Amino acid sequence: MPSLIPAISFSNSDLSFSNSDLSSSVSSIAVSSSSLTDISSLSSHISALSSTDAAAAISDTASTVSTAVSTSISTFFSDILSALSSIVNSITTFIFSLFSYDQIGRLLVIGLVLSIILLFIAFYIGHSRLQKNAAFASYASRVMDFFYKPLLAVYMFVYKSPDKLHKMMSELKNTAQRKKFSQTKNRIILAPHCMRHAECKARTTRTGIQCTSCGKCSFAEMKRLSEKHGYKLYIITGSSFVKHILKHPDAKGTDGVLAIGCNYEINKGMRELKRTKIMTYGIPLLSAGCYNTDIDLEEFERELIYFGGLNGKSQSQQS
């Protein structure tokens, strides 16, 4: 028994020590719980900040990538231009190493003279073979389009008028495109407003003048013939109407335009529509001018019959 008392006393001491440790641990747990609450709040805040920062980072990255791509493209084209410049300089240096300035000048003059001679030979042959060779007419037409400004100056100096030049150019284009135009399926007719009567009261819309067939000018008969052969007739007051007409539902799918006007306007219109897939053919007016102009109605109907109407056949043929 005496030996048990110290052991119990020691155990009590240990228990007392353990209680103290337990109290300290509980206190630590309380502190830890408080800390966890703070950490959770901080994590939520960091998470919120991270979303904002992520958006900002994405925006900065996109901006950086865009700048890098733009810089790369700019550098690429700059390198190409530099390479082309180097090639041109090399060729120029090589040419000047073979010829003197005087010799190069003479060669340029000789080349220019030969070009002019060949050009006029082409015009002469082209005019004489106008109704025979569409391929040559197409070639001559392209050459004349390319040299239009110089040719215009020559014709103004020699003939005091560009009418002969414009007539030749429109005839060449007609010959070059006659076959392809005949193969089109959805055609319209564009006519100039200068043909209408001075007292015309027809209203004008985005698709041109809406003829009422009053009979005071040729448009009433042209409208009748157009409808007979399956065409839609548009009377326009300027080239700006063409784009509105081609976008209109009634002209949807147009692949051929029969243009009526003076040779200047026909040539101009055919040159502009050449950039599209629409084929053109021109019928010239009997006289040029801004009013009281007219057309040969017999020739007009002959062309309609030759080309046919919708689907390559006139309505009269279909019936």
Residue 206 clears pLDDT 50, i.e. is over it = yes
What's the confidence (pLDDT) of residue 36? 46
State pLDDT tens for residues 20-67.
443 444 444 444 444 445 545 545 554 554 555 656 666 677 777 778
**Confidence band of 225 (pLDDT split at 50, 70, 90):** very high
Residue 8 clears pLDDT 50, i.e. is over it = no
| Burial status of residue 90 (CB atoms within 10 A of its CB: 0-12, 13-18, 19 or more) | exposed
Residues 6 or more apart whose Cβ sits within 8 Å of residue 239: 268, 269, 272
What's the confidence (pLDDT) of residue 290? 79
Please state which of the ranges 33-47, 95-109, 131-145, 265-279 shows the lowest mean pLDDT: 33-47
Handedness of CA 141, 143, 149, 153 (dihedral sign): negative
| Average confidence (pLDDT) over 286-315 | 77
**Structure tokens given for 294:** 């007219």
**DSSP secondary structure of the chain:** -TTHHHHHHHHHHHHHHHHHHHHHHHHHHHHHHHHHHHHHHHHHHHHHHHHHHHHHHHHHHHHHHHHHHHHHHHHHHHHHHHHHHHHHHHHHHHHHHHS-HHHHHHHHHHHHHHHHHHHHHHHHHHHHTTTT-HHHHHHHHHHHHHTHHHHHHHHHHHHSSSHHHHHHHHHHHHHHHHHHHHT-SSEEEEEEGGGS-TT----EETTEE-----SSSTHHHHHHHHHHTT-EEEEESSTHHHHHHHHSGGGTT--EEEEEE-HHHHHHHHHHHTTSS-EEEEEE-SS-SSSS----HHHHHHHHHHH-SGGGS-HHHH-
The CATH class of the 180-318 domain is alpha beta
State pLDDT tens for residues 241-263.
888 898 888 888 899 999 999 99
What's the confidence (pLDDT) of residue 100? 77
What's the confidence (pLDDT) of residue 116? 72
> Residue 209 and residue 250: Cα distance in Å, rounded?
15
Q: Quick check: 300 and 221 in contact, CB under 8 A?
A: no
Bridge partners of 280? 257
What's the confidence (pLDDT) of residue 280? 93
- Residue position matching structure tokens 């919120």: 48
Please state which of the ranges 98-107, 139-148, 217-226, 292-301 shows the lowest mean pLDDT: 98-107
Q: Quick check: 296 and 286 in contact, CB under 8 A?
A: yes
> Considering the chain, what is the average pLDDT of its residues?
76
Domain with CATH 3.40.50 in the chain: 180-318
State pLDDT tens for residues 261-298.
999 999 998 988 888 889 999 999 998 777 778 999 99
Nearest alpha carbon to residue 210 among 247, 187, 241? 241
| Average confidence (pLDDT) over 107-134 | 69
Residue 71 clears pLDDT 90, i.e. is over it = no
Residue 180 clears pLDDT 60, i.e. is over it = yes
CA 49 to chain CA centroid, nearest Å: 48
Please state which of the ranges 67-76, 142-151, 187-196, 278-287 shows the lowest mean pLDDT: 67-76
What's the confidence (pLDDT) of residue 319? 36
Please state which of the ranges 71-75, 121-125, 279-283 shows the lowest mean pLDDT: 121-125
Residue 124 clears pLDDT 80, i.e. is over it = no
